[in-house]
Chains A and B, each alone.
Chain A
Amino acid sequence: MVRVKSRYLLCEVNVTDRNLLLLLDDRAVTAAVKDVVQRMHGDYGAALCSFGFSVKYLNAVTGIILLRFPKKCYKQLWSALPFITSIEARGKQISCFLNCIYVGGTIRTCQKFLIRYNAHQLRRMLPKCKSEEKHNIQQAILDCCLTRTHTEEAEDTLESEEDE
């Protein structure tokens, strides 16, 4: 049997209030995407979304979501994502918009891109940070990332330190 192909959309959730971002969970995101696809593409879209769509990875601290779509219909479902205006999580409405930063065929390619993207974001944020202690920590992490040793551990520390 030939392998089942899918498309993984790496999206970034942009919010005005970063504290609300921590309330995100995958069930809320699933519900929001299904609801908007039902609105934009009707029953046909809801059926496309019911099997083969899932949220594979969610990072509430950085606001990165990895969505899986089947290869045949990912463009149609992708076209519905800009119409998401708010996500309801734990009783609160988080008004946000989704920004798609990468489309990959496998989770591994998305992970590779995400590591590079997070390193890029850190380098962008480094001039902005104020207290000296944080400055030192970030510098150390950047050194670790540049030598490309233990990339997975680097990715975990990068994501936790990105919240400024």
Chain B
Amino acid sequence: MSCGTEKKKAVDLHQGVLQKNLSPERYLKIQLELEEAVTLTEVELRFFIISGLRSLHGEVGAALNFDLLEHSDVSNVAVLKVSKDDLVKLWSSLTLQGFYKNHRCAFRVLQVSSSPPDS
């Protein structure tokens, strides 16, 4: 059907993969966009995420287990791994982070999946 193929062409930018969410982990691929060109090391990024969790979700949030799997210094893209139950808290605290050391910033979530993203 012609209208179906047209829609497929328009949606080529995002890749949608349907999975049964059986595993208890979630992988979050995020990009930190900053107004000025500041790059963060792994440690700084991890500390920044934890401080965001602490401000929104307190000590309980700061104690959440998450892993920083891959990190690129150049483009500030990182892959985080959290357990299924903690995803909402982590994502909400990333959303509400507005400032990094007086620079305006924003976390863009590029991909969420229950298996490690291949990049």
Contacts and interface: CB of A to CB of B under 8 A. Distances in A.
Interface of A: 37-45, 79
Interface of B is mostly: helix
Contacts of B55: 42-43
A107 B67 CA distance: 45
A64 B53 CA distance: 34
Nearest to A45: B58
Name the prevailing secondary structure of the A interface residues.
helix
B75 to A, nearest CB: 30
Contacts of A45: 57-58
24 contacts: A37-B58, A38-B58, A39-B58, A40-B58, A40-B60, A41-B57, A41-B58, A41-B60, A41-B61, A42-B53, A42-B54, A42-B55, A42-B56, A42-B57, A42-B58, A42-B61, A43-B55, A43-B56, A44-B56, A44-B57, A44-B58, A45-B57, A45-B58, A79-B60
Nearest to A38: B58
A39 B57 CA distance: 9
Interface in B46-68: 53-61
A40 B59 contact: yes
B65 to A, nearest CB: 17
